[in-house]
Amino acid sequence: MTSKTWAIITGASSGIGTELARELAGLSYNLVIVARREERLNQLALELKSKYSVKVQVITLDLLKDGACERLYAETKDLNIEILINNAGFGLCKKFADTSMDSIKNIMKLNMEVPTELTRLYLKDMLKTGSGYICQIASIASYLPVPYYSVYGATKSYLRHFSNTLYYELKNTGVSHTVFNPGFTRTEFFDVAGQKLVFNQNIISQSSNTVAKRALKAMFRKKRSALSSFINWYTACVIGTFIPKTLIANFVLRDMKKTHE
């Protein structure tokens, strides 16, 4: 099978990003995989090249560093990028008052500024060719009040709102724009965030492979927005609309307190 054009995945060294890379390689896309942990990326590149005979370019990059987005674009702009997936992101499960300002700024930068800047850089080229897919990985937290994740949830709300609007600007351009919202997914996210999932969170959690497959399905179907499961859709769109936010926030707060106080 011959390889197609190129896809870029940020945050490909673990979790959902690694599975997105595996799935796209399985569809014969050449890949640019980006993250800070070089060894992980190199291992993944080896695996994908040998299993699927695709080209894989590893870019070891801290997207929080000044000029990182321009550097990534400069290194890849000649590759005819067809797919951009802004997946890199992190959150901290902590009381806002106890969170350092540096951490808050980093969450805001990685989850909002970086995807916005990368989208603008690659979109211009996609508009010239009249084709391409952009997918933002937001979160179910963008729909609901999640105490202890106030900044994280707000950054994902930004990403979802930005995406839901950009989708309409891009209609009839040939470039599609999707925002995909995972719910609890078994990845390193919770180790990084410092959250231990409680029983009811664990039982509804999904594997990163399932979530990646659903994200790609939504993206290739050119959906404006999607959630990763029926339960997540029901929680975000039905419970989130019809149940008062104060009840939802107090329910989540009760679970958060179990692991924090």
* Contacting residues toward ligand NAP, per CB under 6 A: 11-17, 35-37, 62-64, 87-91, 110, 137, 139, 182, 184-185, 187-189, 192, 208
Active site annotation includes 152: yes
CB of 256 to ligand NAP, least distance (A): 15
Q: Which is nearer to ligand NAP, 54 or 146 (CB)?
A: 146
Q: Which is nearer to ligand NAP, 166 or 227 (CB)?
A: 227
Q: Which is nearer to ligand NAP, 139 or 229 (CB)?
A: 139
Through-space distance between the first and last CA atoms of the chain, rounded to whole angstroms: 55
Distances 186 to 14, 15, 61, 105, 257 between C-alpha atoms, Å = 11, 8, 24, 25, 21
CB of 172 to ligand NAP, least distance (A): 29
Which residues on adjacent β-strands are paired with residue 10? 34
CA distance 245 to 241: 8
Tokens of 113: 């500024």
Q: Which is nearer to ligand NAP, 192 or 231 (CB)?
A: 192
Which residues on adjacent β-strands are paired with residue 86? 136
CB of 174 to ligand NAP, least distance (A): 26
- Contact indicator for 35, 7 with CB cutoff of 8 Å: no
Q: Of 122, 133, 152, 167, which is the active-site residue? A: 152
Q: Which is nearer to ligand NAP, 110 or 112 (CB)?
A: 110
CB of 171 to ligand NAP, least distance (A): 26
Q: Of 52, 156, 158, 167, which is the active-site residue? A: 156
CB of 17 to ligand NAP, least distance (A): 5
Which residues are catalytically annotated?
A: 152, 156
